[in-house]
Structure 1
Amino acid sequence: MSEDTKLTKAKIRFAEEGRFLTGTTSTPDDDRIPPGQGLVKGFPVLDLGIKPDIAPEQWSLRIYGAVESEVTISWQNLTNNLPQTDIVVDIHCVTAWTHLDCSWRGVLTNDLMKLVALKPEAKFVMIHGSDGYSTNLSLEDFLEESCLIAHTMKGEPLELDHGAPARLVLSTLYFWKSPKWISAIEFLTEDQPGYWEQRSYHNRGNPWNEERYGTPVKPAPAPAPVELAEPEPLPARRKPSFWDDLKQFLS
């Protein structure tokens, strides 16, 4: 992962300032638009400044971690061999914009999981993108009924700006939880922070609870190297005397 970009640093500052917070909460049943959000007609593009251009036939999705055996999903599997589902959902970005009625097509995570044998201790998920991005989810959120590995947006193949060839779409959380350019799904036994969760964003990101920001969570530090005690110096070796040399000569 490269150093934080100007945009990344600005968003970190927004988090530190509590930008866009209203201090109110709601529910999807009461309000279609979460607190503090404003409607947009277009679809703003935000990323880390890295846009990996991957040909669909070269794309694959690795599923690993707390599973009985690793699984690799090819582009052919994603677009043809697995069940295809169409959804229409509202998208809510932590930067306070909402885009209504966005259509997507792809494979539901619930259908994807029919190919995966999880270990009993798997409770969390880390989603990885080819740009080096990552975000963490609970297993429950990952298996939300409309959560989708999408390859089509508004009836057209995903564009590069929107995460082509494939991305996650999880509309029940802020959109930073839906990585573009998805490359791997890692199942975890313990929760770990992803890219933005390490940079002041909330660990979950429920829009109706206005879970925009939280205390930065840093990855566990690597164990400190063990410092070995200095060895005791060896006693100085006595310089051989004349008699030592003589004994050596006579032996």
Structure 2
Amino acid sequence: MDKTNNILKNKATSRIGGKGSQRRKKKFVRKKITDKQKDLLKKKINDINKKILSLNNNNYKKLRDFIDGLINDYITDLQRSDVNNNEQFNYSSIKKYGAGFIYKYFFYPINNEKILIKTDIYPFLKKNFKKSGQDLFQKLIDSIDQILVKKEYDINLENEKYDEELFNRALNFFNIQSDKKVHFKDIRSKYREYIDSNIKDDLGNDLYDKDRCSKYFSILSKQYNDYLKSN
């Protein structure tokens, strides 16, 4: 009888120990995956920031135009279901304040000359975004990296040849739909609206940056005739 009891006791102990070990192992694996994701994101951001720091002021200003366009695309693509809404950070505020809101939480200034991506942003992303929202941020920084790698920021503003991607980015800056042909009078009207605006964002900056207004309007003006000939 004692022998039977001992066998049953050993089985129960083994069974409980096995399950406990499996649970602890799963937790350890999840933490390991999380740490790896965090490290990979930090490395990616550090690489991007180094490239940004290496740019001269002229090329950096050109890059900022691209980053602004990518952030506008990011805000457009972001859905309410991508965000873990709370009092400090929510979908409505992102849509209301736009690019200024994203710059505040995703970037930081250095020497009052350039902005860099926050390297410690992973916990913030985990707290405030669902997986789909985190993936969208990854897409944003991948796009910034590609622009830097390919040096796509080096724009020739005098080029009259139609560049679909750049032209659409300029239209998007002025919040003009690009799904059908646009009349130039509508472009000019939007330009006047933006350039004459005195509206400030929540950080006290001009809602519509005047330099970018002029630059994007120049792109649209120079490429418009060739744009009309495109399909």
How high is the TM-score relative to the length of structure 1? 0.21
Q: Say which structure is richer in strand.
A: 1
Q: Normalized per residue, which structure has more helix?
A: 2
